[in-house]
A and B are shown apart, each in its own frame.
Chain A
Amino acid sequence: MRPIISVLSALVLVVLAVVPFAAPWLQFVLTLAMANGMVALGVAILLRAGLISIGHAMFFAIGAYCIAFLSRLGINEFLVLLVLGTMGSAIAGLIVGAFVVRYRAIFFAMLNLAISMVVYSLIAKMYSVTGGTDGMALSTPTFLWIPLEKPGFDHVLYYFSVALMIVMGYLVHRYWKSPLGYALSAIEGNELRLEYLGVSARSVLLAAYVVSAALSGCGGVIAGSAIGHVLPDFGYWVTSAQFVLIAVLGGIGGAAGPFIGSFFLELLHSASVNLTDAWNLITGVALIVVIVFLPSGLYGLIRKRRRSAS
């Protein structure tokens, strides 16, 4: 990682460690920011191949609703919920991915959007199963099978998310530097040449898609656990837009970027929630501003200028 990003990341981690003591009112916001960052990291993985998914909120929602259903079934241990919720999203990612990886560019983007809208409307309409627009409540999970009150659980969730964020960031970073990661970006570079080298672009993409769905599901589990309630809005296109913005904003920062972008945006959101509710307008303008004025900074979107692997 570039030095400035490393320094920034280290700073952020130090701040994160002390927040529950120094600024406890920020803990909830930051937990959500980390959850969002995980989804944005998933979006960023696909961005690497030049593909934009504007429907990734569906996997965020699937992860959240998975644990809501499991909780209703009596499964109450957070770690179990996390694993199962992530797996649920990964499986959904496999199913959706098998279809969408045949497409590129706008078709890919729109198919993701369309499928996410279908998922959203199914969740919102099936009142008897999903609680419809009321959503589903989650009882506070146990951690390592130790029962906790909500405030205590929230502390644990916060620190666990920090740890998870670091691990995820590191693993994705290795992924991007590996042959598979380079094959992923080669899909945007010259898919024809890649095929002639004997590599199946679809398989490489599908693997990336499943990983990105799993990350998004993980984010959904954490967000759902933090809020204590899951809603269809988790899967709405507006939510997908936020993830895209975060991924694009954090573009220059490699695997740490989406998290940094997410913190920035979440704090901005909290600060301005009393001033305006035109959040879509701001997101839209921000997106356009970023792609117009930061062309060489945007990772892999306009011109790729990455350092050599060697």
Chain B
Amino acid sequence: MSHPLLEAKDLRIAFYGVTAVDGITFQINEGEFVAIIGPNGSGKTTFLNLCSGYLKPDSGEVCLDGTSITAMAPRSIAHRGIARAFQIPQLFLDQTVLDNLLIAMAAKQGIWSWFENLGAGRRREEAMDLLALVGLQDQAGQFADALPEGKRKLLDIVLALALKPRLILLDEPTSGVSSIERFALMETLMRALRQAKVTALFVEHDMEVVQRYSDRVAVWDAGRVLVQGPPSEVFNNAEVLHKVVGV
């Protein structure tokens, strides 16, 4: 019986007396695309923060491949194969799009080289390929702070992908992306993830995206998992429809 890839055990954290995550036990298996949905303030982003080392829980454990990563710093967790994309894109705004990605790739391949160029070897080609994957190749020479919000989102996701992670945590990947481009983005993203055998956990508000691209949906409410299962099941659940979708 192998371990689930990521496992949260009885996670609990409170801020200023308000419990944000209330005893969550949750698992993600290798190769799954799991979506987390739920009303605002239900602790979804907090959960991602707990899994990526930004926050330490008051109690409980997070395990990657059976090893506890609860006390680790974000950079150690990144080394172990969890990459994070953020709700507000975290970019190097003063660098070009291409340089942003080159830095991420250098971080993966070895940042401690001081004599060769950042874009040496095949790195530049690989970076352009990765940018083409999400349609950013034309913006390669632009400075990141000149990008519109939707494209910043894409760049943020691509930076996470550059780490060639085993698990990617996506925080509202399609927010800020126009509805026309939304599905194209998710198609490309999911195909790339499946090809690279990357497991994904994503927080989403767009129910159609969730329905189409997730293997399993977990419904969050007030810091707890209300219901989880395949999309078809979850979206037929009356309580879910009422609380989350608002029907």
- Residues of A in contact with B (beta carbons under 8 Å apart): 174-175, 177-183, 185-186, 188-190, 192-200, 204, 303-306, 308-310
Contact between chains at A189 and B94 (CB < 8 Å): yes
What residues on B are CB-neighbors of A185 within 8 Å? Answer: 94-95
User: Do A196 and B92 form a contact, CB below 8 Å, given A177-B117, A308-B99?
Assistant: no
Interface residues on B, range: 35 or more
10 contacts between A and B (CB under 8 A): A178-B115, A183-B111, A188-B94, A196-B75, A197-B162, A197-B163, A198-B76, A305-B143, A310-B102, A310-B118
B77 to chain A, nearest CB (A): 9
Residues of B within 8 A of A197 (CB): 75, 78, 103-104, 107-108, 159, 162-163
In the complex the two chains form, is A310's CB within 8 Å of B159's CB? no
Q: What distance in Å separates the Cβ of B116 from its nearest Cβ neighbour in chain A?
A: 6
Our pick among A183, A189, A308 for the contact of B93 (Cβ within 8 Å) is: A189
B51 to chain A: closest CB distance in Å? 12
Which residue from B76, B99, B104, B113 sits with its C-beta under 8 Å from A178? Answer: B113
Of chain B, the residue at the smallest CB distance from A181 is B114
* CB contact list, B156-170 vs A, under 8 A: 159, 162-163
Q: Note all chain B residues with C-beta closer than 8 A to A188.
A: 94
Taking CB atoms and an 8 Å cut-off, the chain B residues in 76-124 that contact chain A are 76, 78-79, 83-84, 90-96, 98-99, 102-104, 106-108, 110-119, 124
A174 CB → nearest B CB, Å: 5
CB pair A193 B159 closer than 8 Å: yes
Other 20 A-B pairs with CB < 8 A, given A198-B76, A304-B94: A178-B114, A178-B116, A179-B110, A180-B112, A182-B106, A183-B107, A183-B111, A185-B95, A193-B90, A195-B78, A196-B78, A197-B78, A198-B107, A199-B75, A204-B111, A303-B94, A308-B98, A309-B102, A309-B118, A310-B102
Whether, in the assembled complex, B141 has its beta carbon less than 8 Å from a beta carbon of chain A, the answer is: yes
Cα of A29 to Cα of B235 in the assembled complex, Å: 80
* A177 to B99 Cα, complex, angstroms: 11
